[in-house]
Structures are given as structure tokens and as C-alpha cells.
Amino acid sequence: MSNPLVVFDCDGTLVDSQHSICTAMTRTFEEAKLAPPDRPAILSVVGLSLPLAIARLLPDAEADFHDHLSDRYKLAFQAMRREEGVCEPLYPGIADLVVELDVAGWLLGVATGKSDRGLALCLTHHGLIDRFVTLQTADRHPSKPHPSMLLTAMAEAGAAPDTTVMIGDTSFDIDMGVAAGVRSIGVAWGYHPPAELLASGAQAVAMDSAALRGHIGAP
């Protein structure tokens, strides 16, 4: 029998990291003597792996330059951590929801465009890392919406598509869930509008953590 599994995206779903992401991306472009993208453009690519996100922001540049800017972004983010300039607060009710789901019998996972290091620091800071049995990041997988992260999460957790739920705030998350054949639920507090999540195949879009708990249901 398959285990029940809930897989969360991180940025825009568990934590509101938009200030830090936009600051790091702006610094990256400015250091390269480029006009930085505006905030909506940056937020529109959150969730993609860094080279792909930067390629969407700078489509006329070569792949090598996308990789170069990706490396510079990582350095900018690390510098911000040293400066205590990274702000990644949990969304309201998320900590309680994670604990409640864990206690109720759901196995929990994360599938994110963050790095292994960035995800571990974030979840450890909030005291939640031990609640998750599988952590999948951009370091080891193709970018969303490729289903690799979800397929590996299910394999590690002993879950099947019919006992797995994907939770995310972007169309990339929902597209990944659809590609993996799992039930997918959007959240309205992140970086893509609800209409876009529904168009991608979300079965529902939760307006707050209480509504999300209701959509997830029993394990």
C-alpha cells in the first residue's frame, strides 16, 4: 500500500522570499552592468532553475552568460545571508499546517528551485526540516515543470501518484504535478495569479492555510 504524501513548493508557498529574491537578482544584473528586470518579471520566473529563470529574463544572451549570471546570483544571495539580509518568513498558518499534516499521518516533502543549501538553511531556520522525509532541489533535477523532482520524492517516500498531492503557487508547480500524474492544488498567496494556476490544471486554489488544509483532506 502506498504512503500518503504532500509535496510543497518552497518560495511563494511555504515562505515569502520575494524581497530577497528580487534584491539578489537586481544586484546580479547591476553588477553585470545590465538594467535589472522589474519586480513582476522577476517574480514570474520564481520556481524555475536559475539558468532557465535568467534565460527568460535575458532571452537574447548566450547560454554561457546565463550560467555566469546564475553563479553571480548565488554569490549575491550568499553575501546577503552573511549580511543578515535574507528575509524568508513563513506564510501565516504554514508552520501549524505542516505540523498538523505530519501528526495526521501525511508524509511531507519539498520540491523547489532552491539549492540544497538554501532549502536546508530555510527549513532549519524555521524549525521544520525534521518534518520532511524527502527534499528535492534544483541541484539534482531538471527545472520545473519536468516531473523529476516529484517522481523522486514519491520513490523516496514510498508513495504513488494516487496518494500524492502537490502544493504550489506557480504554474510551474501545477504543470509539474500534472506531468507526474498527481493531484495538484494551488495557493493564492504566492507569485502567479489563481487563474493561471487553474488554467494549468490545479484542482483548486486555496486562499489561506485553513482552506488549503481542507483541500488536502485526509491521508
Catalytic residues: 9, 11
Q: Which three cell numbers stand for residue 136?
A: 528535492
- 11 forms beta bridges with 15
Cβ atoms of 192 and 167 closer than 8 Å? no
C-alpha dihedral sign at 138, 65, 70, 7: negative
Distance CA 193, CA 77 (A): 26
CA-based nearest residue to 111, from 30, 55, 172: 172
Cβ atoms of 166 and 203 closer than 8 Å? no
For residue 43, the number of C-alpha atoms closer than 13 Å in the C-beta half-sphere is 16
Cβ neighbours for 13, distance < 8 A, ≥ 6 positions apart: 91, 167, 168, 169, 173, 187, 190
